[in-house]
């Protein structure tokens, strides 16, 4: 099948295409009509969605395109099930665009996989296999599975995942390009990998459960970011921790009123089994802290409260480290990814009190109550060292769209991989 050519013009479309039309069609392609006053990335995304609705598979950029303009078009074009090709124009860095695209597609395809096909073990294996394929000489990894999590002290992942016949997993992957086994760890990445979230005994509605295959979006995002950084020449030692489990109901599932004692001695009462992401991330954050990593980034589809705060076009960012948070937001601005800061203070640790433990895993009210995203971040801050310095938390409100939007396709978005990769490589 021949390529569909897409070009840019700073001239208005012919009147026959409609007043103020931003898109017109020519034989074998389309023309995007943009003002000559910047990149106009959002308008490019809107035009991309319109062209995508025509069922065109193979896109070729022709003419004068900036790399970020091409990227904006591709991000908005390639939804779930995309099988076509993208041919970048010759005046941009084709290799860099192809690298980004490979990382984005890996991330999206992993998130879009069905929950039956993607078990906790297969999620961990898929992530390890892809990263290893990029730099086999620098990669080592191990998986702690099922009951072995208990003996290793990773009680949060075990408790959340023990209700499923498919066991929970902690993946630890070490990318060490230095050749020195004793080299310090520059970064640790931690991802929430809930391959399906029923809510447990705090069961979700059918509508709320429908898209919970995407609840491993954090694991996919940090894996995609690490892979992208490696392909971009990452020289820093980086560890990856994926906290993988299915949150299901059974006669062996964890229950409301249970108390988990974590490796660092913190006790947590379960007041909502649907606030499970923070329970598994707590283990991953402790493992990252134990690694001695100078900086820790975690990513998770953690709270509906973040979606209510920033919508589905932004991810929410939390940190107790002002300088690191500012650096992450600068990376986001550099790569044109939408992230927004939400409040986190040390006292947010105390916002989920329990009469039976050091803390509860939420507040026993619908949706976790006011400030739920900040309270969840406060819970996580109990499990990182150095009083939260060197740690940033991504609550991935923009990770997934079931039906797409006027700027994004259906399914996973992979928003966040470029921001995190820029932190790693920069």
- Nearest residue to 213 via CA among 193, 233, 231: 193
CA-derived radius of gyration, the chain? 22
Is 204 among the catalytic positions? yes
Catalytic position from the list 22, 192, 213, 278 = 278
Name residues whose C-beta falls within 8 Å of residue 3's C-beta, 6 or more positions apart in sequence: 58, 59, 60, 85, 87
Q: Which residues are paired to 169 by β-bridges? A: 145, 244
Catalytic position from the list 46, 50, 204, 341 = 204
Cα 281 from chain centroid?
13
CA distances (Å), origin 189, targets 37, 134, 256, 261: 38, 17, 30, 23
Cβ of 153: how many Cβ atoms within 10 Å?
16
- What is the side-by-side strand order in the sheet with 391-395? 139-145, 169-175, 238-247, 187-197, 295-300, 391-395, 315-319, 339-341
Name residues whose C-beta falls within 8 Å of residue 27's C-beta, 6 or more positions apart in sequence: none
Cβ of 165: how many Cβ atoms within 10 Å?
10
Active site residues: 204, 278
């Amino acid at each position: 099948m021949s390529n569909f050519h897409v070009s840019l013009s700073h001239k208005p479309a012919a009147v026959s295409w409609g007043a103020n039309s931003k898109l017109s069609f020519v034989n074998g392609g389309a023309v995007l009509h943009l003002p000559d006053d910047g990149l106009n990335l959002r308008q490019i995304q809107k035009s991309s969605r319109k062209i995508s609705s025509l069922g065109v598979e193979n896109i070729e950029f022709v003419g004068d395109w900036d790399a970020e303009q091409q990227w904006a078009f591709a991000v908005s074009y390639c939804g779930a099930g995309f099988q076509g090709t993208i041919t970048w124009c010759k005046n941009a860095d084709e290799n860099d665009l192809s690298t980004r695209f490979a990382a984005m597609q890996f991330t999206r395809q992993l998130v879009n996989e069905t929950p039956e096909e993607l078990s906790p073990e297969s999620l961990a294996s898929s992530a390890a296999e892809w990263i290893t394929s990029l730099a086999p000489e620098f990669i080592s990894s191990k998986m702690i599975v099922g009951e072995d999590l208990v003996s290793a002290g990773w009680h949060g992942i075990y408790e959340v995942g023990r209700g499923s016949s498919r066991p929970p997993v902690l993946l630890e992957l070490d990318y060490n390009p230095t050749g020195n086994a004793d080299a310090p760890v520059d970064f640790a990445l931690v991802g929430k990998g809930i391959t399906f979230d029923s809510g447990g005994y705090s069961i979700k509605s059918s509508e709320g459960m429908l898209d919970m295959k995407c609840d491993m979006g954090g694991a996919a995002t940090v894996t995609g970011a690490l892979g992208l950084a490696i392909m971009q020449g990452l020289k820093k030692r980086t560890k990856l921790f994926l906290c993988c489990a299915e949150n299901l109901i059974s006669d062996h599932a964890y229950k409301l009123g249970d108390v988990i004692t974590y490796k660092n001695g913190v006790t947590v009462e379960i007041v909502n089994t649907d606030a499970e992401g923070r329970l598994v991330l707590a283990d991953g954050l402790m493992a990252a802290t134990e690694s001695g990593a100078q900086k820790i980034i975690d990513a998770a589809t953690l709270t509906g409260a973040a979606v209510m705060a920033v919508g589905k076009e932004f991810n929410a960012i939390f940190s107790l480290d002002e300088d690191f948070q500012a650096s992450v937001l600068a990376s986001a601005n550099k790569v044109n990814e939408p992230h927004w800061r939400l409040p986190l203070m040390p006292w947010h640790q105390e916002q989920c009190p329990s009469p039976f433990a050091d803390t509860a895993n939420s507040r026993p009210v619908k949706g976790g109550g006011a400030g739920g995203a900040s309270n969840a971040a406060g819970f996580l801050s109990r499990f990182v060292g150095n009083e939260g310095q060197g740690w940033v938390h991504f609550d991935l409100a923009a990770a997934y769209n079931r039906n797409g939007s006027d700027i994004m396709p259906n399914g996973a978005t992979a928003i966040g991989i470029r921001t995190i990769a820029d932190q790693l490589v920069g």
